[in-house]
Structure 1
Amino acid sequence: MSRLKRIAGQDPRAGFKAAGRDCGTSVPQGLLKAARKSGQLNLSGRNLSEVPQCVWRINVDIPEEANQNLSFGATERWWEQTDLTKLIISNNKLQSLTDDLRLLPALTVLDIHDNQLTSLPSAIRELENLQKLNVSHNKLKILPEEITNLRNLKCLYLQHNELTCISEGFEQLSNLEDLDLSNNRLTTVPASFSSLSSLVRLNLSSNQLKSLPAEINRMKRLKHLDCNSNLLETIPPELAGMESLELLYLRRNKLRFLPEFPSCSLLKELHVGENQIEMLEAEHLKHLNSILVLDLRDNKLKSVPDEITLLQSLERLDLSNNDISSLPYSLGNLHLKFLALEGNPLRTIRREIINKGTQEVLKYLRSKIKDDGPSQSESAAETAMTLPSESRVNIHAIITLKILDYSDKQATLIPDEVFNAVKSNIITSINFSKNQLCEIPKRMVELKEMVSDVNLSFNKLSFISLELCMLQKLTFLDLRNNFLNSLPEEMESLVRLQTINLSFNRFKMLPEVLYRIFTLETILISNNQVGSVDPQKMKMMENLTTLDLQNNDLLQIPPELGNCVNLRLPPFHFEPSIVFLTLYICCSLSIRTLLLDGNPFRVPRAAILIKGTAAILEYLRDRIPT
């Protein structure tokens, strides 16, 4: 009974008042009973306007069942209950919290996001064991000074409030690792922030910041810095001293120059889209040795320097919506997986090549590296290399780019002369898009030993014949805008397939065979009628990184997905009349992008979705029944 005596010392009423009598129907007794055993209580989404006393006093008062049972088994010893360590009361209508909060000193997690709180009680200072505090999506205008007493706090989420400044002494939270202050009304960041030496992730996006303190470089452990959607005109050069920085987001600001990063050798992603950057110079690039993603879209760039080839690790480069008229041919030597060029007045690359995608653009640029001039070589390719007997076949594309191209002809059949033109040349890509094909050309099988990319989009295919399943080296397959509603089981033999595009077809479910193609990294199946996905089968797809399910018929997403920390996925709204979508995906998945817009599930609100992956996953995890 020593535990009860200890609590009684804090509250003289302890042990004399039976719990549960003031809870009514808002908190079931069974939930309280389970919480005493597990130490966790989830009251999310119960329409509460105040926290019942029985919750604050859950570890203080004698539980109601003690009055109903005079003999206690091993599982009914209420005096051996566990202190409450995790309390979730998010998505309610709370306007305030009482000082009774101090009756839960063992709390390590307190989640009260999505309420109507305008302040926090001073008693919060007594939660000295608190490690995670989520007060996002409330109406806080200031933070109490007492919050600086939470020295064990590691995660603090304050996004979507009305904060205009940061409390004095905030730097005392020396163990803080994750801090989200996005979507507030901050105009400055105090220099004292630099004392948050343990900080790994800092989100300052969607505020009114015009500058960052030079002292920010003292955050030696910071890996993720998000300053999107502010009023930043410059970045302090001291930022270059943040040697651990891996992700830097500076989208939607007023930057005119790209920051220089002489020390940021670990920087993997730099997002500076939607600014006013006019020039990209070698000095901006030469130290970005580890960069994987460079986002420069929607700026005012007029050219790209040859030094872009120094970025040998670069995988994604977004140059869309700038003023670029030409590209250095050396860009073709990079191993890019994604290159965006739309919205530029390019004159050296034909639009049809750009429309074919990243790999075709890179192949084209590589082919031009030794040419005297692009316009001259293009002209020669289209005249001297086109044989009279094969006038409809682009021989230049076959020989130089290794593409068998017979696209945009509105043909119902692919003529034999197209396949005959290949002769002894090596072909790696086939493009028969924008025709009227009702079946896959049988002669494609002749190229099965070399073809890796096939584009059959914008045709009238209603089934996939076995000829396609014999292309053993196939890595990319585009079947969008057809009449498909199923795929043959024989596609399982495509053991190298990495990307498949099935958008704008007639699928009502994710084709079964895709679950067995374990090499798949990208599945695009938007604008269909997909209503279900099999979680048990999907968890075997360990290489899957991108899944596009936009504009389908998904009605529900289970909260358990919140445990899949790499998954970008919004939650769901349950309706009894709808077949439950069981989508419990194993955490070993490496999904980085999941697109679900345009599906008929009702929650979360758009405001939740727009916050991004981490917020959505947390939203889901909070709804997992305890």
Structure 2
Amino acid sequence: MAAARRARAGDPRAGFGRPAAESGPAVPQGLIRAARKSGQLNLSGRSLSEVPQHVWRINLDTPEEAHQNLSFGAADRWWEQTDLTKLILASNKLQCLSEDVKLLPALTVLDVHDNQLTSLPSALGQLENLQKLDVSHNKLKSIPEELMQLSHLKSLLLHHNELSCLPDGFGHLVNLEELDLSNNHLTDIPTSFALLINLVRLNLACNQLKNLPADISAMKSLRQLDCTKNYLETVPSKLATMASLEQLYLRKNKLRSLPEFPSCKLLKELHAGENQIEILNAENLKHLNSLSVLELRDNKIKSVPDEITLLQKLERLDLANNDISRLPYALGTLPQLKFLALEGNPLRTIRRDLLQKGTQELLKYLRSKMKDDVTSPNEEPPVTAMTLPSESRINMHAITSLKLLEYSEKQAAVIPDEMFNAVRSNPVATVNFSKNQLNEIPPRFKVFPSVLYRIVALETILLSNNQVGSIDPLQLQKMDKLGTLDLQNNDLLQVPPELGNCETLRTLLLEGNPFRTPRAAILAKGTAAVLEYLRSRIPA
């Protein structure tokens, strides 16, 4: 109103102040005055649909207070204003940025994240002093080529947009140290990325990449590379030559194997969970002397090589939900290991309750088993082909009369063939091989003995710690007296839903098998809950 009155009265000061045609919420003059002194202006979260013109012209127009009859202290000298170097416009409703952004050539930081931008002005390329540009969480479908002129840019944040391709000139951003392209629609990245030799952090997560260019290995300063949740089936072998790489994220891809890392001496974290990796071998591990985190959960790994013990700095090892049946006992000697996840594996030598006791108890158990493997000085002489039956202490009376095959407390590494030969055609009901040093269980059932199905009066079947891969629920239903069925630690890949119809079962033990369902939480609820769950999955 004051400005309007001055204009009507012919006041020579008329026309200064905020233009009347300007729309959108006003920016308080107090903020503008403070920005002229500090060189920083924060307009985040003000529901701006456009940037007021006097913001772009903050260093060009004469301040309003210059036309007021005021006395100035040393701290209020508007003519000594500072050029704007930092402008924050985050969390507004901006759909575009004006080309007038070029009127702020001193900007080193421009933050417009969390808006509704569908494009960027080409004038951004004229901000030759810009060091950080945050345009994340917008709706950008492309990047102007002019952006590649920002030779002083160190941080470029483009994550959570709708980018499907990038300009080929990305390599001109030679001073870039941080680049975040995650959560876009990228199907490939320019080969010019190889020129980003100062890049320290590169985030490519949550895109549609099927491969990485081998030239990416030229990024000699790269410490962190995140390729989580793409469609990578392989990783270029040259990736292993990135000498500065410390953190590598390959989770949620389609990898079937890990690359070898002969030159990644500094690699501290390797995350490759939720892939299709089947083999973990010595070559994958033997050079990773600095590794502190190895995450391989939800793969198809069947075994862990003894070379895992070379990872002397390992603090976290996640092998959950794989197909691992045994572990090297020396794993318990890793001096820095604080977290070990093994749940969801068909482990035969480790009880489920031990897995639930935590890492330290588990490591203690592994160390104890390793000590058991060391030959005792008081061990009996090894059994040879010349050993007499009396020396093997075969108790024929126990075999023929008690149906018992006994060979316990011998500290033996193998059960001599004479023990099995002595049984001949005699039926044996109980075998006791306890307190030995067996490194494998003697030959076991690989299939459910069909003869058991025909003994319909059976009340108990104990087949734990075998290699049974399947069962016939329809045959089991005919065994109307069957109360206990123990199939722990076998090779069941699935539990047929029809097993839920075996209504006489009071004890059903299925832990330690590689099937995915029922989950451990269901098994923990007991037999009744498991049977009810199985019945609910029977096709209608």
TM-score above 0.5, yes or no? yes
Would the aligned equivalents of 2:223 and 2:247 in 1 still touch at CA under 8 Å?
A: yes
Would the aligned equivalents of 1:300 and 1:322 in 2 still touch at CA under 8 Å?
A: yes
TM-score (norm 1): 0.56
Structure with max Cα Rg: 2
Structure 2 Cα separation of the partners of residues 17 and 152 of structure 1: 38
2:313 corresponds to 1:313: yes
2:368 corresponds to 1:367: yes
Alignment of 1:216-231 (within 5 A): 216-231=216-231
Would the aligned equivalents of 2:43 and 2:88 in 1 still touch at CA under 8 Å?
A: yes
Structure 1 Cα separation of the partners of residues 187 and 240 of structure 2: 23
Q: Is the partner of 1:55 in helix, strand or coil?
A: helix
Q: Taking structure 1 as reference, are residues 17 and 219 closer, same or farther at Cα in structure 2, changes over 3 Å only? A: farther
Structure 1 Cα separation of the partners of residues 342 and 359 of structure 2: 9
Would the aligned equivalents of 2:125 and 2:150 in 1 still touch at CA under 8 Å?
A: yes
Give the aligned residue type for 1:278: E
Q: Taking structure 1 as reference, are residues 343 and 66 closer, same or farther at Cα in structure 2, changes over 3 Å only? A: same
Counterpart of 2:184 in structure 1 is 184
Number of aligned residues: 361
Alignment of 1:14-163 (within 5 A): 18-21=16-19, 22=22, 25-163=25-163
Instruction: Please report how far the alpha carbon of residue 198 of structure 1 lies from its aligned counterpart in structure 2 after TM superposition.
Output: 0.7
Give the aligned residue type for 2:107: L
Instruction: Please report how far the alpha carbon of residue 17 of structure 1 lies from its aligned counterpart in structure 2 after TM superposition.
Output: 6.2
Would the aligned equivalents of 1:19 and 1:61 in 2 still touch at CA under 8 Å?
A: no
Instruction: Please report how far the alpha carbon of residue 345 of structure 1 lies from its aligned counterpart in structure 2 after TM superposition.
Output: 1.2
Counterpart of 2:358 in structure 1 is 357
Structure 1 Cα separation of the partners of residues 331 and 180 of structure 2: 37
Instruction: Please report how far the alpha carbon of residue 23 of structure 1 lies from its aligned counterpart in structure 2 after TM superposition.
Output: 7.2
Structure 2 Cα separation of the partners of residues 143 and 17 of structure 1: 38
Alignment of 1:325-364 (within 5 A): 325-335=325-335, 336-364=337-365
Give the aligned residue type for 1:194: A
Structure 2 Cα separation of the partners of residues 24 and 276 of structure 1: 53
Would the aligned equivalents of 1:133 and 1:156 in 2 still touch at CA under 8 Å?
A: yes
Would the aligned equivalents of 2:90 and 2:115 in 1 still touch at CA under 8 Å?
A: yes
Would the aligned equivalents of 1:19 and 1:58 in 2 still touch at CA under 8 Å?
A: no
Q: Is the partner of 1:317 in helix, strand or coil?
A: strand
Give the aligned residue type for 1:248: L
Alignment of 1:245-324 (within 5 A): 245-324=245-324
Q: CA RMSD in A?
A: 1.6
Would the aligned equivalents of 1:245 and 1:264 in 2 still touch at CA under 8 Å?
A: yes
Q: Is the partner of 2:87 in helix, strand or coil?
A: strand
Instruction: Please report how far the alpha carbon of residue 143 of structure 1 lies from its aligned counterpart in structure 2 after TM superposition.
Output: 0.4
Structure 2 Cα separation of the partners of residues 99 and 190 of structure 1: 27
- For residues 179-233 of structure 1, the C-alpha deviation after alignment (integer angstroms, 9 at most, x for no partner) is 0000001101111110011100000000000000010110000000000000000
Counterpart of 2:429 in structure 1 is none
Would the aligned equivalents of 2:229 and 2:251 in 1 still touch at CA under 8 Å?
A: yes
Instruction: Please report how far the alpha carbon of residue 71 of structure 1 lies from its aligned counterpart in structure 2 after TM superposition.
Output: 2.5
Give the aligned residue type for 2:155: C
Would the aligned equivalents of 2:85 and 2:109 in 1 still touch at CA under 8 Å?
A: yes
Structure 2 Cα separation of the partners of residues 65 and 308 of structure 1: 71
Would the aligned equivalents of 1:19 and 1:57 in 2 still touch at CA under 8 Å?
A: no
- For residues 261-319 of structure 1, the C-alpha deviation after alignment (integer angstroms, 9 at most, x for no partner) is 00000000000000000010000000001000000000001111111001001000000
Structure 2 Cα separation of the partners of residues 328 and 202 of structure 1: 36
Alignment of 1:524-543 (within 5 A): none
- Aligned residues with identical type, % of pairs: 72
Would the aligned equivalents of 1:299 and 1:322 in 2 still touch at CA under 8 Å?
A: yes
Instruction: Please report how far the alpha carbon of residue 18 of structure 1 lies from its aligned counterpart in structure 2 after TM superposition.
Output: 3.1
Q: Is the partner of 2:270 in helix, strand or coil?
A: strand
Counterpart of 2:237 in structure 1 is 237
- For residues 532-562 of structure 1, the C-alpha deviation after alignment (integer angstroms, 9 at most, x for no partner) is xxxxxxxxxxxxxxxxxxxxxxxxxxxxxxx
Q: Taking structure 1 as reference, are residues 16 and 111 closer, same or farther at Cα in structure 2, changes over 3 Å only? A: farther
Structure 2 Cα separation of the partners of residues 20 and 234 of structure 1: 59
Alignment of 1:449-460 (within 5 A): none
Counterpart of 2:203 in structure 1 is 203
Q: Is the partner of 2:168 in helix, strand or coil?
A: coil
Q: Taking structure 1 as reference, are residues 372 and 241 closer, same or farther at Cα in structure 2, changes over 3 Å only? A: closer
Structure 2 Cα separation of the partners of residues 45 and 223 of structure 1: 34
Would the aligned equivalents of 2:168 and 2:190 in 1 still touch at CA under 8 Å?
A: no
Structure 2 Cα separation of the partners of residues 324 and 72 of structure 1: 78
Q: Is the partner of 2:156 in helix, strand or coil?
A: strand
Q: Is the partner of 1:169 in helix, strand or coil?
A: helix
Counterpart of 1:524 in structure 2 is none
Would the aligned equivalents of 1:314 and 1:334 in 2 still touch at CA under 8 Å?
A: yes
Give the aligned residue type for 2:72: F
Would the aligned equivalents of 1:26 and 1:46 in 2 still touch at CA under 8 Å?
A: no
Q: Taking structure 1 as reference, are residues 127 and 20 closer, same or farther at Cα in structure 2, changes over 3 Å only? A: same
Would the aligned equivalents of 1:293 and 1:316 in 2 still touch at CA under 8 Å?
A: yes
Would the aligned equivalents of 1:23 and 1:53 in 2 still touch at CA under 8 Å?
A: no
Structure 2 Cα separation of the partners of residues 320 and 48 of structure 1: 48
Would the aligned equivalents of 1:312 and 1:334 in 2 still touch at CA under 8 Å?
A: yes
Instruction: Please report how far the alpha carbon of residue 351 of structure 1 lies from its aligned counterpart in structure 2 after TM superposition.
Output: 1.4
Q: Is the partner of 1:133 in helix, strand or coil?
A: strand
Instruction: Please report how far the alpha carbon of residue 370 of structure 1 lies from its aligned counterpart in structure 2 after TM superposition.
Output: 2.5
TM-score (norm 2): 0.65
